[in-house]
Amino acid sequence: MELKLYNTWSRKKETFKPIKKGHVSLYTCGPTVYNFAHIGNLRSYLFEDILKRILLYDGFKVKHVMNITDVGHLTSDEDEGEDKMDLAVKREKKTPEQIAEFYASSFFSDLEKLNIIQPDIKCKATEHVKDMIHLIERIEKNGYTYVGKNGNVYFDTSKFKDYGKLARLKLDQQKAGARTEIDQNKKHPRDFVLWFSETGSKFQGHIQKWDSPWGIGWPGWHVECSAMSMKYLGDHFDMHCGGIDHIPVHHPNEIAQSEAATGKKWVNYWLHNEFLILGKGKMAKSGKNFITLQVLIDKGFDPLDYRYLNLTAHYRSKLNFTWEALENAKSSFDTMKNIVLEIKSKKDSNKTKDYDKYKENFIEEINDDMNIPRALAILWKILRDKELGNKEKLELIVDFDKIFCLGLKDLKEEKVDVPKDILELLNKREEARKNKDWAVADKLRDEINKKGYVLSDTKEGTKVRKN
């Protein structure tokens, strides 16, 4: 079955055709490691993980590269504000290297807790400055740069014909006073810095500096993604992903500088996920709505509860986060796990005509622009199917969980220390069952459920689990 994905470049679903048959080159925008990732950031990485799992499920080999920004990212995606690493140094009184190492480690720990496959290549910006300088030289040689009076090297967007096409920008309507702070050294409002000069830049006292053909300074944020993706994936690759906040500035700048350097198309498919919404706005480190994965854990949630919540919304739809929504996701996921455990405890087999239909429909949904909510609904149908054998159910559950990655394959019964009052109710229920007093047995089951325990009646006897 063909994989169809919504390409931001064309604003429509397209059939995915890799550059090299059977192989996918994938670049995803990584973290700026000056603070903890919040759960809004993590939504992007969950979306990219699902994408990667679908590609693998469909039989592709995937080469996945992710950057780690440890220099050059200002508090604005444009050339405004302070460098985020400099801010972290002032805040924590540590070196940039110490800060980057700590927050990068925390970030990748979060990915592990969420069952997210790690990238094949994790590349730090500070370890690729020479690659960035080389790329800027290529752009300069092709006539797309100029040096401002302040010594900064700028990209001249007026010379790049398709600048802003990804974001549908209308540059002829862009006026110099449209932004809060204007760099007077720029020829055009949308021009951006490729290399910041130490001597003339408004960002004085920058900690991280390198020598370059344009003097001592440091790279702009946008240039790192182009330089590192091209180093590991080549001048032309399949997919580039990120959040929708990258569509207006970061990704148009990446496209312009990359294609100005090579003179050819850079990326075939652009995929972007929508925001996680808290209250009326997106979650952001600069706001009060900054919630980390550890906050969820401290409140008693499993990280996979949050993964499950993300599966309930399409990646191109906003996902409203509330504690009630997370609690509902946890409840649904707990119910799912209990049903799966019950299925695992039974060995009956009955391959109905729906078995193949379930799998066919599942593959159809995941390949239709990653329609995970509908794929998840198919799993729930399987769990509640009274005709399909438990052996066949488990086969489908394990197969589908290659995409969901909720740990259903390895789910095991936990040893439960059953309290005395629950044991007494169990004994009464067993006595009622022996007497075929099903009404009393059901009433006692409900009473046990209300106390937080779930019963599964098997050939080996009644099993008890905590709800």
**How confident is the model at residue 281, as a pLDDT?**
66
434 pLDDT band (50/70/90 cuts)? confident
Q: Are 111 and 175 in a shared domain?
A: yes
Domain for residue 282, yes or no? Answer: no
Q: Residue 374: is its pLDDT beyond 60? A: yes
Domain for residue 458, yes or no? Answer: yes
pLDDT in tens, 225-253: 999 999 999 999 999 999 999 999 999 99
**For a pLDDT cut of 70, what percent of the chain falls above it?**
92
432 pLDDT band (50/70/90 cuts)? confident
Domain for residue 292, yes or no? Answer: no
Domain for residue 441, yes or no? Answer: yes
Whether the CB-CB separation of 392 and 421 falls below 8 Å is answered with no
Q: Counting Cβ atoms within 10 Å, is residue 354 exposed (0-12), middle (13-18) or buried (19+)?
A: middle
- Tell me how far apart the alpha carbons of residues 339 and 222 are, in angstroms, rounded to a whole number: 48
Q: Are 399 and 431 in a shared domain?
A: no
The DSSP letter of residue 235 is: S
Number of other CB atoms surrounding residue 247 within 10 Å? 17
Q: Are 164 and 243 in a shared domain?
A: yes
Q: Are 397 and 427 in a shared domain?
A: no
Q: Are 396 and 427 in a shared domain?
A: no
Domain for residue 448, yes or no? Answer: yes
The residues with which 7 forms a beta bridge, in sequence order, are 12
Identify which has the larger pLDDT, 284 or 373. 373
Number of other CB atoms surrounding residue 329 within 10 Å? 20
Handedness of CA 188, 240, 262, 127 (dihedral sign): positive
| Cα R_g (the chain), whole angstroms | 27
The residues with which 28 forms a beta bridge, in sequence order, are 66, 241
> What would the mean pLDDT of 63-84 be, rounded to a whole number?
82
pLDDT in tens, 151-202: 999 999 999 998 999 998 765 444 433 444 668 889 999 999 999 998 866 6
Q: Is 59 left (phi over 0), alpha (psi -120 to 50) or beta?
A: left
Q: Are 147 and 63 in a shared domain?
A: yes
Range of the domain at 361: 300-404
What mean pLDDT is reported for the chain? 91
Identify which has the larger pLDDT, 459 or 96. 96
Domain for residue 412, yes or no? Answer: no
Q: Residue 450: is its pLDDT beyond 90? A: no
- Tell me how far apart the alpha carbons of residues 61 and 88 are, in angstroms, rounded to a whole number: 38
pLDDT in tens, 265-300: 999 999 999 999 987 666 666 555 689 999 999 999
Q: Are 57 and 170 in a shared domain?
A: yes
The residues with which 458 forms a beta bridge, in sequence order, are 461
Q: Are 400 and 424 in a shared domain?
A: no
Domain count, the chain: 3
Domain for residue 286, yes or no? Answer: no
- Tell me how far apart the alpha carbons of residues 338 and 397 are, in angstroms, rounded to a whole number: 13
pLDDT in tens, 328-349: 999 999 999 999 999 999 989 9
Q: Are 182 and 323 in a shared domain?
A: no
Q: Are 207 and 247 in a shared domain?
A: yes
**Residue carrying the six token digits 């490691």:** 33
**How confident is the model at residue 203, as a pLDDT?**
65
- Tell me how far apart the alpha carbons of residues 423 and 393 are, in angstroms, rounded to a whole number: 31
**For a pLDDT cut of 90, what percent of the chain falls above it?**
72
**How confident is the model at residue 84, as a pLDDT?**
84
Domain for residue 455, yes or no? Answer: yes
C-alpha dist (Å) from residue 83 to 20, 89, 275 = 39, 10, 24
Q: Are 9 and 103 in a shared domain?
A: yes
